[in-house]
A and B are shown apart, each in its own frame.
Chain A
Amino acid sequence: MTITDHAFVRADGRKGIRNTLVVAYLVECAHHVAREIAWPFRERGVHLIGFGGCFPNDYAARMMRALCTHPNVGGALLVSLGCESFDRGGLRETIRASGRPLETLVIQQVGGTRKTIEAGRRAVEQMLAKLEAVPRAPMRVEEFITGTICGGSDATSGITANPGIGRAFDLLVAQNARCIFEETGELIGCEEIMAARAATPELAGILRASVEKAARYYTVLGHGSFAPGNAEGGLTTQEEKSMGAYSKSGTAPISGLIKPGDVPPRGGLYLLDVVPDGEVRFGFPNINDNAEIAELIACGSHLILFSTGRGSVVGSAISPVIKVCANPETYRRMGDDMDVDAGRILEGRGTLDEVGREILELSFAVARGEATKSESLGHQEFVLTYKSFEPIGPACLPATVAA
């Protein structure tokens, strides 16, 4: 099935639903200059991303390479101070090899703040003209990648928005689209339930191990309460509590486990392991929701389905965010920020199946160019911090995928 006739075709054959130009700072010292370059173009598809650290980090370098060559990205302007450790050369090489327009400005070479901002804005104008010439072509649902996350959850999240997104995921996977869910720290207690859905026994073991790793990591940090669920809210067991978050994944078999920067190879449902490997370093796995959204996008997500009960307002750079509001009172209070009123189920104004279909159809409309609420409001949040990962092994992506 074709979801849009006008996807943006990149030189590597991947297709995007947006034609974003990213302005990327390679160290915090270049952040202000990059922001000043991008700001006048913020309503013309120019997004600001970057990495603040001065010390090198393989994960951050890989994330930046994946994001600058994301299918929704048409070109990149890199802004470097000049003395940071970021692997600028490797990033330039990757972007150039992808066939995208690329410009690099090194502030220390260009001659400081003012000159770099002026040169950057001229470069953006020229690159935006090039982006208009990007070829368009139909995009099939099999090429479509969707990620999901929840943030600002409350007691309604697990009974309306999360299972509603799960329904949409089931419909997408049934059409051979690629779907990604994450946050192993919230899956503690349902690892056996999840492992039972794995495509192979080896993958089942890998899924279990990823949750054990998350439990260990959060315990060392001294955060993340894994005590039995809040009984007053009706949750009786730990596995039930975790199922509320896990229900975003729907009921399809799990085809693989990926890590930030890995793109799902074929249709199916994938778990994104966001918890670093090895000893606990660099603090919390994800300092906020947008750090997870950036990782879902680095795995190729064209679109993010964001479940919220209390009412998050965030969007993201690069890929549109659809906000699925779990709580009808929140929806009435913050409707300008919400795309889907999933909480209406609680008031007898709809069923989970209807909400799931609405999320699916809105996803396709956004793929055809319809702006989400957070896009219309100018949200372009982006966060990238230090992490470390081991590469995934072949057992993480078994070739046999249950139909």
Chain B
Amino acid sequence: MFAVPVGQLEPTLQQATLMNDPRLLLLDPADNVFVAIKTIEAGEILDPAGTRITIEKSITLGHKVAARPLRRGEKILKYRAPIGSATRDIAAGEHVHLHNMQSDYLPTYTLDAGQTYASRHDHH
């Protein structure tokens, strides 16, 4: 009914096969992680990029799964935005979380003892 440019919103061919997994959601075609929209139980198999991965611990709604192999130091893209970096190589289909990625966001906002605003820079 309306002329809308939808092309840029469609997933790439490489990612299209993974989109068929109803347990996984790709928020943006540029992303390199999926979001689990159903619980994936331990022992279930994910098959992204032709790499069969057996899930060791269950992955629940909202958690991330690598859409392709990721190298250490590579930006994790979700919503087409870098939300942090891989802290080690990550296989396609692997759970992506605190154990293998970290924030690139430097400032941490804290309340000091006097309840005044403080900004500091540190890495975790």
Q: Which has the most chain B C-beta neighbours within 10 Å: A220, A233, A240? A: A240
Contact of B61 with A236 in the complex, beta carbons under 8 Å: no
Q: A174 vs B6: C-alpha distance in the bound complex, in angstroms?
A: 10
Within 8 A of A (CB), among B100-121: 101-105, 109, 111, 115-117, 119
Q: Which residues of B contact A171 (CB under 8 A)?
A: 4-5
Given contacts A346-B37, A346-B38, A361-B2, contact A193 B82 (CB under 8 A): yes
Q: Which residues of A contact B10 (CB under 8 A)?
A: 353
User: Interface segment, B21-29, B42-50, B66-74?
Assistant: B21-29
Q: Which residues of B contact A222 (CB under 8 A)?
A: 111, 115
Interface SS of chain A: helix
Determine if A356 is an interface residue (Cβ-Cβ < 8 Å).
Answer: yes
Q: A228 vs B103: C-alpha distance in the bound complex, in angstroms?
A: 9
Binary contact readout A155-169 vs B (1 if CB under 8 angstroms, 0 otherwise): 110110001001100
Residue from A235, A236, A361 in contact with B1 in the complex, judged by beta carbons closer than 8 Å: A361
Number of interface residues of B (CB under 8 A): 42
Q: A240 vs B63: C-alpha distance in the bound complex, in angstroms?
A: 11
Given contacts A1-B2, A171-B4, A231-B97, contact A247 B64 (CB under 8 A): no
Determine if A234 is an interface residue (Cβ-Cβ < 8 Å).
Answer: yes
Q: A167 vs B62: C-alpha distance in the bound complex, in angstroms?
A: 19
Q: Which residues of A contact B98 (CB under 8 A)?
A: 231, 236
Determine if A330 is an interface residue (Cβ-Cβ < 8 Å).
Answer: no
On A, residues with C-beta under 8 Å from B are: 1, 155-156, 158-159, 163, 166-167, 170-171, 174-175, 188-190, 192-193, 215-216, 219-220, 222, 226, 228, 231, 233-240, 243, 246-247, 251, 345-346, 348, 352-353, 356-357, 360-361, 364
On B, residues with C-beta under 8 Å from A are: 1-6, 9-10, 22, 25, 27-28, 35-38, 60-64, 78-84, 96-98, 101-105, 109, 111, 115-117, 119
